[in-house]
């Protein structure tokens, strides 16, 4: 690993460097989902739009054929909902029934 790898940001949302990603691959994490679960890479506001391809390239450079890589499961970001807003919504629906 080169010192400059610490300066190359792969995931801006989670502040992960190329060195971080390469270390995870060396530890045996071999899929995008595994790397995401252990590091939160791709779970920030951009939802992997920036880092997903970079991580896949690093996996490929480590010997994993890109055709064998599973694209990963991506879920939209969620936002908390108050119980009051749920109750209001439920009340409106029963008025129309």
How high does pLDDT run on average in the chain?
Answer: 83
Mean pLDDT for 87-94 is 65
CATH value at residue 63: 1.10.10.1100
- 74 band by pLDDT with thresholds 50, 70 and 90: low
Name which of 15, 14, 16, 10 is nearest 61 in CA terms: 10
Contact 46, 12 (CB under 8 A): yes
At residue 26 the predicted structure's pLDDT band, cuts being 50, 70 and 90, is very high
Q: Please name the helix (run of DSSP H) or strand (run of DSSP E) that holds residue 9, with its range, or none.
A: strand 9-11
pLDDT tens digits for range 6-15? 889 999 999 9
């Amino acid at each position: 690993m080169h010192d400059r790898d610490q300066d190359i940001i792969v995931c801006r949302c989670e502040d992960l460097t190329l060195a971080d990603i390469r270390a995870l691959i060396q530890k045996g994490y071999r899929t995008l989902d595994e790397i995401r679960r252990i590091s939160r890479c791709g779970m920030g506001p951009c939802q992997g739009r920036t880092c997903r391809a970079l991580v896949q390239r690093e996996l490929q450079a480590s010997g994993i054929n890109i055709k064998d890589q599973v694209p990963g499961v991506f879920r939209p970001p969620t936002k908390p909902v108050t119980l009051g807003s749920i109750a209001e919504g439920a009340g409106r629906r029963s008025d129309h029934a």
